Amino acid sequence: MPIISSIGASSKTGFAPKGLPVYYSNLFVKAQTDYISMPASANLAPGTSAFTLEFFVYLNTFTYQSIYSTGFSASSSTGFEVTIDASGFCNLVKYSTGGTLSLFVSTTAVSAGWNYVVLTRRSTASSDSQWFINGAAANTGTISNDFSAPSTLTTNIGARRSTLTTPADAYISNLRLRIGVGVSSVTVPGNPLQPDANTRLLTCQSSTIIDNAPSPNTLTNNGVTVSTFNPFL
């Protein structure tokens, strides 16, 4: 699988009434019923491949909250969850086979306002995974899990997949998952993210809840509100 060296700004897209582009984000009200879900799919499972998950986030409150949860199960290593804790630190929550919980935590916290968060795994080798917060490296670690795709475990944005707990109280914009791509440096994009051949999910950037990936997932809107408040204003 290819590994690229950087993430850069992307060309502008979006709706353009009167010649002015309009970009979107999604507001997740702090309630367990407000989230985006999609069916279980091998398309969203990195396995042991490189992957990069990135998104913009604007916290309304600094509480422990789930941003992305895929195939997450307390009994196996099949999935993972990305959360932000009450101090603003980003967490990769994962289980080993048999149910042992482990965390990979950023050493830099997100701040008030919009933040650009990147979690990347270049390989399963030691110290070959990394957090980036607003373009700066924010911890290096090891993610050796085989994130396979059980047929019964869905993917959620804005609430924990397994229990619908730890709901997000935040704006989330331009969430993109790429599989087969790890990065070693990050530049904060000045424009909405674009899909490429490795993009498996790209959402929270349109006037409706849709997936802009080349092979789009079926998304279900469970009470999420679309907003024009976004990182590119």
Q: What CATH number is associated with residue 139?
A: 2.60.120.200
In a domain, 202, yes or no: yes
199 inside domain: yes
In a domain, 12, yes or no: no
So what's the pLDDT on residue 3? Answer: 41
In a domain, 85, yes or no: yes
State the average pLDDT over residues 87-100.
Answer: 85
Range in 4-8, 96-100, 199-203, 205-209 with the lowest mean pLDDT? 4-8
Burial of 39 (0-12, 13-18, 19+ CB in 10 A): middle
CA 121 to CA 28: how far, in whole Å? 27
Q: What is the value of pTM for the model shown? A: 0.90
- Structurally, the chain folds into a number of domains equal to 1
Q: Is residue 147 part of a domain?
A: yes
Model pLDDT for residues 61-70, shown as the tens digit of each residue: 999 999 999 8
The range of the structural domain enclosing residue 25 comes to 19-227
The half-sphere exposure of 98 on its side-chain side, counting CA atoms within 13 A, is 1
Among 138, 175, 179, 135, smallest CA distance to 158 is for 175
11 located within any domain: no
CA pair distance 18, 13, nearest whole angstrom: 14
Residue 233 lies in a domain: no
19 has pLDDT over 70: no
Query: Which of the four pLDDT bands, split at 50, 70 and 90, describes residue 76?
Result: low
